[in-house]
A = this chain, B = another copy of it.
Amino acid sequence: MICPNVMNKTFENNSWIKKVIPEIIPPSLSDNTADIDRLIKGIENSLKADGLNLDLCFLKSLPKLLSRYHYQVEAVLFENNASWHLIDVQPHQDGNSVYGLAVDLGSSTVVFRLLDLTNGLIKDEISFHNPQIEIGADILTRIHYASQEGGLDELHDLVINRFNEEIDRLTKKHSLVPGSIMGMVVAGNTTMTHFFLGLDPYRICREPYIPVINRPQIIKARELKLVINPEAPVLVFPNVGSYFGGDLIAGILSSGMFARDEVSFLIDVGTNAEVVIGNRDWLMACAGAAGPALEGGVAGMGMMAGPGVIDQVAIDPHTLEFKVRTIEGLSPVGICGSGLIDLVAQLFLAGMIDLMAKYVKARCGDRLIEIDGIKTLVVVPSEASGTGQSLTLSQPDIDALIRSKAAMYTILTTISNTVNMPLEEIDRFYVAGTFGTYIDPRSAITLGMIPDRPLETYVPLGNTSLEGATMVLLSSKARDDIYQIRDQITYIELNVNQEFMNLFSAARFLPHTDRSLFPSVKEWV
């Protein structure tokens, strides 16, 4: 498997955030150029560029600093729209570092990656829950809350304050001053980035479903009250629309699919199934509700990945013995999305559910019970469970997963039909997010969720938002790429017509009504 990761490459400092050591001749009676103009000239010479911009605050503080350090200083700058802006000036000494923060702004989890911009190395990585969860776990609740008096400000402040707390902790841990963080790049979905910027996502979920902005400009940290260097640029990924955010653009960027000659797919599954197909010449995208089944949010025993959560399941088709693997090997307390897919695939291969994903009583035996008249399978009996109660999977839990997998496959089929590019001709499917990292593609194929292609066709990308944000922080080229990707994407509205519904119905079987599409799936007969 190929894991494209900028970190693996030799670091070349071609970032849009740069440190320079300008040559400045101190003023004298024979050269009475003003201090600031003298500094600007020195920097412009170092950059080989004209028209440096600097904020009023520098005019007040710099003359004293320049004189105190005998004009031996270094300057950190960022470039935007072909013009350079001053971030900071420090006395020149060896080993001054310049840090940047790459941020994956997820609706449930936020990840910070602290990078040394002078050598491209990762200094630290931390993650924490999005504090907006206290308002609502799902995005719609938050959008609704934002439209109430003071709601938007509260949601915005929650994020910014939490960011500042974590930045404070992170910088203290590494004995850095917050001002040494001189750039931030944030990738997230359209609603999350709107909240981050304090923008009302009101019309994101209402006709005509438009965001406030598609391409946020660079904003200085002080404008967002972020406690890093006040002049540090904060770059928020652009979005294609309300349902196609910067997280997906980060995915396309970090996959490298937009630079390949061959056509690839990018799949990102969460509450929405988001799919991109294309190559260096064209990109088409489409998104559809996949339901929350895959996020572990719905099944009775479903939960987010964490200690004791089941992430792998094997069922012996002969003995029908269950083997579960849990995170950190603790007694099982629940199951995450990838575990759930494994479980249902294994149930199918063991003949415990049929083609229509219904429990087969004869094969399930005692494990199958009824709770309030609903057929429910005991996956882990209470005596083996970490909660003291049995972990169970109900028929409706399975039905929800089947709807999700059918939606995924239907979307893939639809988009491949639209561009007239059969699924079996695609030689690479990049799989973004936790789903891609932990899921066993074999199980997803067994369920008929993804096409029956050789396993090496599937390339897990890990946290593409974080990876994409990192790339943008470290490279002008990657920074430019995201705007080009954005402009290149054609977004296809999923037309839920009769044809779509037919495809969807066919995809609700295991693995599919057309068995010839999944030759490798050998279920228990």
A residues at B contact (CB < 8 Å): 27-29, 31-37, 51, 53-54, 56, 59-60, 62-63, 81, 83, 197-200, 203, 207-217, 219, 223-224, 239, 241-242
On whether A214 and B33 interact (CB within 8 A), knowing A28-B208, A208-B27, the answer reads yes
The minimal Cβ–Cβ distance linking A69 to chain B, given in whole angstroms, is 16
A216: which B residues are within 8 A, CB to CB? 59
Q: Report the bound CA distance from A525 to B239 in whole Å.
A: 90
State whether A199 touches B81 (Cβ < 8 A): no
B197 close to A63 (CB less than 8 A): no
Q: In the complex this chain forms, how many copies of it are found?
A: 2
Chain B residues whose C-beta falls within 8 Å of the C-beta of A219 in the assembled complex: 56
The residue in chain B whose Cβ has the minimal distance to the Cβ of A239 is B34
**Quick check: B197 and A59 within 8 Å, CB to CB?**
yes
The answer to whether A212 and B59 touch across the interface, beta carbons within 8 angstroms, is yes
A197 touches B36 (CB 8 A): no
Given contacts A199-B59, A199-B60, A207-B29, contact A36 B242 (CB under 8 A): no
Complex contacts, A33 vs chain B, CB 8 Å: 210, 214
CB distance from A154 to the nearest CB of B (A): 15
Q: Closest approach, in angstroms, between the C-beta of A326 and any C-beta of chain B?
A: 43
Report B-chain residues with C-beta under 8 Å of the C-beta of A223. Answer: 56
How distant is the Cα of A197 from the Cα of B53 in the complex, in angstroms?
Answer: 16
Residues of B within 8 A of A34 (CB): 210-214, 239, 241
> Separation in Å of the A83 CB from the closest CB of chain B?
6
A214 vs B224: C-alpha distance when bound (angstroms): 31
Distance between Cα atoms of A197 and B207 in the complex (Å): 47
Given the interface pairs A59-B199, A197-B56, A223-B56, the reply to whether A35 lies near B83 with Cβ below 8 Å is no
Which residue, of A29, A200, A210, A223, has the highest number of chain B Cβ atoms within 10 A?
A: A210
Contact A35-B81, Cβ < 8 Å, known A56-B197, A56-B219, A60-B199: no
Which of A35, A59, A83 counts the most B-chain CB atoms under 10 A from its CB?
A: A59
Residue of A208, A212, A215, A216 with most partner-chain B CB within 10 A: A212
- A213 and B39 CA atoms in complex are apart in Å by 10
3 tightest A-B CB contacts, nearest first: A36-B213, A34-B214, A37-B214
